[in-house]
Structure 1
Amino acid sequence: MEMTLIVLIGAVAAVLANMNIAVFNDGLRPIVSEHTEGRLTRRDLAFTAFAMSFGLVIGFGIPFTLTASIILIHSILLGTDIIGLMTPKNKWGTPVAAIIGGAYGAGLLVGLEGFVKLFEKLPLNFLPAMGQVGAPVVVTFMAFPALAVAFQFSVKKGLVTFIVSAIVRQLAVFVNENKFLTFSDTAVTLNQEGMALITGMIFLLVFAMKEKKEEGTSIDLAAIFSDKVAKIRKNVVFFMIIGGLIAAATNLAIMAGDPISLNLLADGKETDAGIAAAARALGFIPLIASTAIATGVYSPVGFTLIFVVGLFSPNVWVALLAGVIVIFLEVMLLASIARFLDKYPGIRNSGENIRNAMSKLLEVALLIGGANAANAIAPGFGFFFIAGTYLLNEAAGRPIVRMAVGPVGAILVGIIANILVVMGLMTIPK
């Protein structure tokens, strides 16, 4: 079943890109629209897609996939964007895109299993140490609403949000330790990070809804781009298919929508991963809704809520059905969502701040996690290598995105450590 799901996801996503219906890379949607409206050739579109997505697949998607042995959605869907847009949109090009996309998905899954077996045969198996890459992410994720509040409103309000979130977290720890909450004589354990996250999101939403719309600034995007909305609705069946498939794959813990929920899922914390995925989805709704309405090109994962239903569903079949229903409702409500965001500009603007806050948090957390993992593989040398790699990457103009420096650096340390062990220049850490 796992292989079938991944192959189908790869095939359908490649077809959606090939037919200019949906692409995963947010930055590609306006460019695909330029092509469909005749202002950009297919050749230029293909080269642009490759330039925008290939580096992210190699430097972002694959490293995270390897650290947790769970496929990060970026690994597969950024690749299918390239495959779909580089194959001609005609009667033979579309089937070819489906075949290559499916084979690419299968290759990711088989390659992942092969990598795990390969690590076990190395002189120094550094795969267990790679689990430390995501450890700081799980704990620090609760701070992102406070950072988003600071970006959008003020540092003072961000600080208040952070302090209250921290207090709520410690209260949850106190309640758990003293077993104050019980149900049928069984102690109920609160997730302290989850409680802090919910508290921060409440502060963010309250501040955002208080931000009033200025007189004469209302723009009904859904009305202006009614033909684009109609195009997306016309293809709703495609979105329902891939939405169900991705939700099912997420339920089976073979796929995750972001590095945070991926690391939680790798630790077996499905509920925590679902909460993290829901918080992330909130930040993506304004971006995906506005770009979809303006371009007529949707995202194969919709508002990313399909990951949430996949994680909270009791089994794979419920997840499959829930994914189909959720993405259908998203498409049908697209115009209404756009009008709501226009009514509350604070919420619309918060999307960008939420994403920026998450990116900043991930950059710091993954650098710390990568350094810890590297140092566990090669004590002393690991810290030196990660620090040097980060600084040299900055000096070179960041050829590797900041949040990937930690995971990529840890993998490189693992490779170097194995070479040193074989050469007799390093002993295996105990």
Structure 2
Amino acid sequence: MDMIFVILIGAVAAVLANMNIAVFNDGLRPIVGEHIEGRLKRRELGLTAFAMSFGLVVGFGIPFTVTASIILIHSILLGTDIIGLITPKNKWGTPLAAAIGAVYGWGLLIGLEGFVKLFEHLPVNFLEPMGEVGTPVVVTFMAFPALAVAMQFTIKKGILTFLVAALVRQLAVFMNEGGFLSIGGNAITLNQEGMALIAGMIFLFGFAMREKQEEGSSVDLASIFSEKVKAIKKNVVFFMIIGALITGATNLLLMAGDPISLSLLAEGKQADAGIAAAARAIGFIPLVASTAIATGVYSPVGFTLIFVVGLFVPNVWIAVIVGAIVIFLEVMLLSVIARFLDKYPGVRNSGENIRSAMTKLLEVALLIGGANAANMIAPGFGFFFIAGFYLLNEIAGRPIVRMAVGPVGAIAVGIIANILVLMGIMTLPQ
């Protein structure tokens, strides 16, 4: 049963990515939206997906998975993002994505330790440093509402939004460190980036809603938000299938949705893991909802509430059913949110600014992450290579999209470092 669940999750998730329906990487959703609207070629999309997710798979997902002997969801769904977006979206590419995704899921379950040992045999093991590629993404993503406010309204309002979001984040850190929140004696950890994102989104939508009152704009129900949500709703059956599978696998303690709940599960603390998963889900709802509404691309785990269901429901088959219902209700909720946004032209018009803000932040975050990873692999040379790589790519007319420069450059530094060590030109980093 364990093998069946993981194989099916790999296959279905790869198909959803291949068909541009859902991707797990939050940062990839706006980029897939760019491809859907014809502004990004499939080749560039696949390259960007590989660059953004590979480092997270090998440097974040797999090490946690090997350590706990429980699959961290990132290790499978980030991989299926790559598989689905690299394979062509046609009559033979989609079945191929399903087959590779199934094999990848099977391989994860049986071959994780061997993969990590393969990297250990390299002169320069750049598995762990590659995890730095994605580190700035989640942290910087909380700033996109402030950037969107500055782009649509004024720079002063953007700065105000940014400062409030930063303050809310630090308050969340303070509350976490002080252990001020608890349920039944269990400390609740707030997702600080999620809290900052909520604050930023409140300001963004607050300013946008005031725009309607000031201008007296008429309601246009055929807005970009409604159209994007319609695209998600028509695929709700796919989300129910993958949601049911992931909920069942979580109930069987095969996988976890985040490192905190995974570590608690490894210690046998299932109830604590469920509480941690619930707190994380609450913090991630605005991120998933906003990116889905703005791009028309959903997440295969939805708002991540299915992990909470999987950990608290006592029976695997009941968990499967409840998980499907939960993700169905999430999709329906998106429609309610979109109808609310339709009533406010200012909010509706912010869709393009949200997309642009996400893209700009990702370009910066991935460049920083790639530079940090490269410098950990080869101190000094890493910064030099990424800076030169970025500037030469700009002068050449950006044959590699900006978002891919940092991650691709970090992978290239890892390969170059191994070659130079084998040639005796470089010493092993200390």
Is the TM value for this pair above 0.5?
Answer: yes
Q: Please, what TM-score do these two structures have when normalized by structure 1?
A: 0.70
1:308 corresponding residue in structure 2: 304
Residue type matched to 1:197 in 2?
Answer: L
- Distance change >3 Å, CA 397–CA 322, structure 1 → 2: farther
d(CA) in 2 for partners of 1:167, 1:315? 33
- Distance change >3 Å, CA 52–CA 148, structure 1 → 2: same
Cα deviation code 1:50-103 (max 9, x no counterpart): 546433444444344333233374642464467584226xxxx99777546534
d(CA) in 2 for partners of 1:118, 1:373? 19
C-alpha contact 1:66 1:112 (8 A) present in aligned 2? no
What percentage of aligned pairs have identical amino acids? 55
| Structure 2 unaligned regions, length at least 5 | 24-31, 63-73, 265-275
Residue type matched to 2:407 in 1?
Answer: P
Cα deviation code 1:193-226 (max 9, x no counterpart): 444333223222322332318545523579x99x
1:67 corresponding residue in structure 2: 59
d(CA) in 1 for partners of 2:239, 2:77? 16
Cα deviation code 1:162-205 (max 9, x no counterpart): 12223334444555666766888988765544443332232223
Cα root mean square deviation, aligned: 4.6
- Distance change >3 Å, CA 361–CA 5, structure 1 → 2: farther
C-alpha contact 2:46 2:85 (8 A) present in aligned 1? no
- Distance change >3 Å, CA 410–CA 365, structure 1 → 2: same
C-alpha contact 1:221 1:339 (8 A) present in aligned 2? no
Counterparts of 1:230-241 in structure 2, within 5 Å, are 236-241=236-241
C-alpha contact 1:64 1:407 (8 A) present in aligned 2? no
Q: Please, what TM-score do these two structures have when normalized by structure 2?
A: 0.70
- Distance change >3 Å, CA 349–CA 136, structure 1 → 2: same
d(CA) in 1 for partners of 2:192, 2:413? 33
d(CA) in 1 for partners of 2:231, 2:191? 42
Corresponding residue SS for 2:304: helix
1:411 corresponding residue in structure 2: 411
Residue type matched to 1:315 in 2?
Answer: L
- TM superposition shift of 1:374: 1.4
Corresponding residue SS for 2:429: coil
1:87 corresponding residue in structure 2: 91
Cα deviation code 1:234-291 (max 9, x no counterpart): x6444311233356678979698xxxxx899999986786456423213224335xx6
C-alpha contact 1:389 1:405 (8 A) present in aligned 2? yes
1:294 corresponding residue in structure 2: none
d(CA) in 2 for partners of 1:414, 1:377? 6
Residue type matched to 2:240 in 1?
Answer: M
- 1:219 pairs, out of 208, 211, 221, with 221
- TM superposition shift of 1:415: 1.3
2:156 corresponding residue in structure 1: 156
d(CA) in 1 for partners of 2:82, 2:191? 33
- Distance change >3 Å, CA 185–CA 396, structure 1 → 2: same
- Distance change >3 Å, CA 426–CA 113, structure 1 → 2: same
- Distance change >3 Å, CA 143–CA 52, structure 1 → 2: closer
d(CA) in 2 for partners of 1:192, 1:16? 30
Q: Does residue 265 of structure 2 align to residue 283 of structure 1?
A: no
d(CA) in 2 for partners of 1:195, 1:230? 28
Moved more, 317-326 or 202-211: 317-326
C-alpha contact 1:386 1:410 (8 A) present in aligned 2? yes
Moved more, 110-119 or 198-207: 110-119
d(CA) in 1 for partners of 2:389, 2:52? 16
- Distance change >3 Å, CA 239–CA 158, structure 1 → 2: same
- TM superposition shift of 1:131: 2.7
Residue type matched to 1:67 in 2?
Answer: G
Residue type matched to 1:218 in 2?
Answer: D
C-alpha contact 1:283 1:350 (8 A) present in aligned 2? no
Residue type matched to 2:47 in 1?
Answer: G
Corresponding residue SS for 2:388: helix
Counterparts of 1:291-302 in structure 2, within 5 Å, are 302=298
d(CA) in 1 for partners of 2:334, 2:303? 19
C-alpha contact 1:62 1:72 (8 A) present in aligned 2? no
C-alpha contact 2:219 2:345 (8 A) present in aligned 1? no
- TM superposition shift of 1:140: 3.0
Aligned length: 389
